[in-house]
Amino acid sequence: MSSDAADGETETTATDPVEHVSGTGIAVRGDDIDTDQILPARFLKVLTFEGLGEFAFFDQRFEEVETDHGTEEVETDHPFNDPEHRRASVLVVNSNFGCGSSREHAPQALQRWGIDAVVGESFAEIFAGNCLALGVPTVTMDGEAIEALQSFVEANPDADVAVDVAAETVAYDGRRVEADVDDTQHHALVNGQWDTTAQLAAVPERIAETANSLPYLDAS
């Protein structure tokens, strides 16, 4: 059996296509924002992902301040604290966003906070893969385009930002900007195949065939 070409099989999963995402935007600035920043490790001591949304960027959102009554935890000016951005669904970030730990808890927290798409200059691989598994696009644009979009959403918290995954564009302020969606991600989102379990499980004989061909498994 030839296995060189992509199979023509058109298995579908229960997941819906994600062709476009639109909503208001929120900018979190800075390169190399790691998943420990997005969701600190102490919030990983949970058995489900439920309720993680409120802990997104927790350590950037609160700081301890000395007052006459002792130490108090106060909100910082982090965008995730800004009531004007509370309903945002498009997060705009800079480069190497989501680096570090593979914790899926990080994109889970962002999604549960309300983020449906992330637009950035670049993403760490595991983070982008984890977002895809949740049906959250990670769309890239060059640094200048990101800077412009960040400034726009900061100044216009109520304005719509429309991420067209299928057409690979981001539209806002009457403009439509070219963006990039990685081929695999594009296919999986547009065809609603971002939940891969059923697809992978569809070929048990071929899985067994591969397993049987591996020298280190044959004697077991």
Partner 1 sequence: MSQHTLYDDVWERHRVRTLPSGQDQLFVGLHLVHEVTSPQAFGMLEERGLEVARPDLTHATADHIVPTDDRSRPYGDDAAESMMSELERNVGDSAIAFDHPDTGRQGIVHVVGPEQGLTQPGMTVVCGDSHTATHGAFGALAFGIGTSQIRDVLATQTIAMEKKRVRRIEVTGELDEGVTAKDVILTIIRELGTDGGVGYVYEYGGPVVEAMDMEGRMTVCNMSIEGGARAGYVNPDETTDAWLRETDAFRDDPERFEELREYWESIRSGPDAEYDDVVTIDGSAIEPAVTWGTTPGQSVGVTDPVPDPDSLPEGQRDVARRAQAHTGVTPGESMQGYPVDVAFLGSCTNARLADLRDAARVVRGRAVHGDVRALVVPGSQRVAANAEAEGLDDVFRDAGFEWRAPGCSMCLGMNDDQLVGDEVCASSSNRNFVGRQGSKEGRTLLMSPRMVAAAAVTGEVTDVRELSLVGTDTDDPAEVTR
# residues contacting partner 1 (CB under 8 A): 66
Q: How many CB atoms lie within 10 A of CB 32?
A: 13
Dist CA 206 CA 14 (whole Å): 23
Dist CA 160 CA 171 (whole Å): 8
Q: Binding to partner 1 (CB under 8 A): which residues in 41-70? A: 41-42, 44-49, 59
| β-strands 90-92, 20-27 pairing | parallel
Dist CA 6 CA 196 (whole Å): 15
145 or 162: CB nearest partner 1: 145
77 or 183: CB nearest partner 1: 183
Q: Is 101 in the site for partner 1 (CB under 8 A)?
A: yes
Q: Is 151 in the site for partner 1 (CB under 8 A)?
A: no
37 or 89: CB nearest partner 1: 37
87 or 206: CB nearest partner 1: 206
Which one of 17, 19, 22, 31 is in contact with partner 1 (CB under 8 A)?
Answer: 31
Tell me how far, at minimum, the Cβ of 210 lies from partner 1, in Å. Answer: 5
Q: Is 180 in the site for partner 1 (CB under 8 A)?
A: no
Which one of 15, 122, 138, 169 is in contact with partner 1 (CB under 8 A)?
Answer: 122
154-160's contacts with Cβ under 8 Å and 24+ in sequence apart are 154/27, 154/79, 157/24, 157/25, 157/26, 157/82, 157/84, 157/85, 157/88, 158/24, 158/84, 159/24, 159/25, 160/22, 160/23, 160/24
88 or 128: CB nearest partner 1: 128
Tell me how far, at minimum, the Cβ of 79 lies from partner 1, in Å. Answer: 16
Dist CA 21 CA 204 (whole Å): 35
Which one of 21, 90, 99, 146 is in contact with partner 1 (CB under 8 A)?
Answer: 99
**Residue 10: strand, helix, or coil:** coil
Tokens 């000395």 correspond to: 66
Q: Which residues bind partner 1 (CB under 8 A)?
A: 3-7, 9-10, 30-32, 34, 36-37, 40-42, 44-49, 59, 95-96, 99-105, 107, 122, 124-126, 129-130, 133-134, 183-184, 187-188, 191, 193, 195-197, 199-201, 203, 206-207, 209-211, 213-217, 219-220
